[in-house]
Amino acid sequence: MAVDYSTLKKGGFMRQKQKNNFSLRLRVVGGNLTAKQLAKIAEVAEKFGDGYVHLTSRQSVEIPFIKLDDVENVKAALAEGDVEPGVCGPRVRTITACQGQAICPSGCIDTYSLAKELDDRYFAKELPHKFKFGITGCQNNCLKSEENDLGIKGGIKVDWRESDCIGCGVCVKACRQGAITLEDGKISVDKSKCNFCGRCYKACPTDAWDTVHGYIVSFGGLFGNSINKGETIIPFVEDKEKLLKICDAAVNFFEENAKPSERFKFTIDRIGREKFEEKILEAYNG
């Protein structure tokens, strides 16, 4: 009987160079796995694989040396530990994320909750080519958001509140962009220099800042055979509903306009940056 390699690949089973052996990519959201999942993955790797796993560059786990005859048994065994196969091929891939504000002092957004929401919304969606989301919590950019087709970086928009300021100047020292100055007891913020890192707000001993936590979104990143840094269109997206509308608009633009096997960046280039920006701005404003 002929083997449907395309369906196997869609379900995370990637052909190895060894005949009838597959490396199974697992579904991992935002780099998080529970202890229960890890135990089951180890058990399956020992029983059906070669006793080890591979950690991918995109926070997933692969179990190599799964035999063709064991595919269904492997899926059933993994399900007992709440583990699902991932995906490969032309579709939305693993949503990567750093630990964000839930764990990291520098984090500006809840990266893991957002990763789960995007995973529920888009995971395995069929598209003309692969499409990658990456979420990083702050300007430290541990997840290198601009390498992704759609990158999301957490940020904080700040406004100085004079009534609570004691003029200590800590925020001036904390700002790495040179955007804050202190003269005659008054703080001044050069908005054109602010990169929404939130260091001033986090350093302030009297919480003398009004803040809005939001998102910096980039489009068209690549880091493979071709390299391109994703670019922003809107400097700061201030709420999640607007962010999700922008994500929908980007994915829909790719789905409707891309040629088969064409990455998102090249679709934007071919159709025109202006037309793409128009769709993103419509989603943001509408």
Mind listing the pLDDT tens digit for each residue in 265-283? 999 999 999 999 999 999 9
Q: Is residue 49 part of a domain?
A: yes
How many residues would you count in the chain? 286
pLDDT tens per residue, range 77-104: 999 999 999 999 999 999 999 999 999 9
pLDDT band, very low/low/confident/very high, at 14 (cuts 50, 70, 90): very high
Domain boundary among 51, 79, 107: 79
Q: 237: domain CATH number?
A: 3.30.413.10
Q: What tokens were used for 216?
A: 């910096």
Domain assignment of residue 194, yes or no: no
Q: Is residue 187 part of a domain?
A: no
Report yes or no on 227 lying in a domain. yes
Indicate whether 125 and 241 sit together in one domain. yes
9 with 72, same domain: the answer is yes
Q: Which of 17, 46, 79 is the last residue of a domain?
A: 79
Q: State the residue range of the domain holding 231.
A: 96-161+215-285
Judge if 58 and 33 occupy the same domain: yes
Distance between CA 96 and CA 151 in Å, rounded?
A: 10
Domain count, the chain: 2
Residues 101 and 49 grouped into a single domain: no
pLDDT confidence bin for 3, thresholds 50/70/90 = confident
Share of the chain above pLDDT 70, in %: 100
Contact between residue 167 and residue 185 where contact means Cβ atoms under 8 Å apart: yes
Kindly state whether residue 53 falls inside one of the protein's structural domains: yes
Give the span between the Cα atoms of 209 and 172, in whole angstroms.
13
Indicate whether 24 belongs to any domain.
Answer: yes
Bigger pLDDT: 51 or 286? 51
pLDDT one-digit tens code per residue, 107-164: 999 999 999 999 999 999 999 999 999 999 999 999 999 999 999 999 999 999 999 9
Same domain, 61 and 114: no
How far apart CA 218 and CA 96 sit, in angstroms, is 15
Q: Do the domain assignments include residue 273?
A: yes
In a domain, 89, yes or no: no
Contact between 108 and 155 under an 8 Å Cβ cutoff? The reply is yes
Whole-number mean pLDDT of the chain?
A: 97
Residue 53 and residue 110 share a domain: no
Q: What are phi and psi of 209, to 5 degrees?
A: -140, 135
pLDDT digits (tens, 9 = 90+) for 162-204: 999 999 999 999 999 999 999 998 999 999 999 999 999 999 9
The band of 41, judged by pLDDT with boundaries at 50, 70 and 90, is very high
- Residue 141: per-residue pLDDT: 97
- Gap between the Cα atoms of 234 and 251, Å rounded: 17
User: Judging by beta carbons within 10 Å of its beta carbon (0-12, 13-18, 19+), is residue 98 exposed, middle or buried?
Assistant: buried
Looking at the structure, tell me whether residues 251 and 112 fall in a common domain. yes
- Residue 159 gets which letter from DSSP? E
Task: List alpha helices for 133-239, DSSP H.
Answer: 170-174, 199-203
Please check whether residues 109 and 138 belong to one and the same domain.
yes
- Calculate ∠ Cα 194-203-170, nearest 5°: 85
Does residue 1 register a pLDDT over 90? no
Average pLDDT over residues 21-32: 97
Residues 233 and 278 in one domain: yes
Q: Does residue 127 sit in the same domain as residue 269?
A: yes
Give the burial class of 67: count Cβ atoms within 10 A of its Cβ; 0-12 exposed, 13-18 middle, 19 or more buried. Answer: middle
Q: Which residue type does 39 have?
A: A
The answer for residues whose C-beta is within 8 angstroms of residue 247's C-beta and 6 or more apart is 118, 121, 122, 133, 150
Residue ending a domain, among 79, 106, 124, is 79
Question: CATH number, domain at 58?
Answer: 3.30.70.3340
User: Quick one: average pLDDT of 210-219?
Assistant: 98
Same domain, 12 and 68: yes
Question: What mean pLDDT do residues 223-247 have?
Answer: 97
Mean pLDDT along residues 46-69: 97
Do residues 50 and 104 both lie within one domain? Answer: no
Give me the helices (H) in 11-141, please. 35-48, 71-79, 111-122
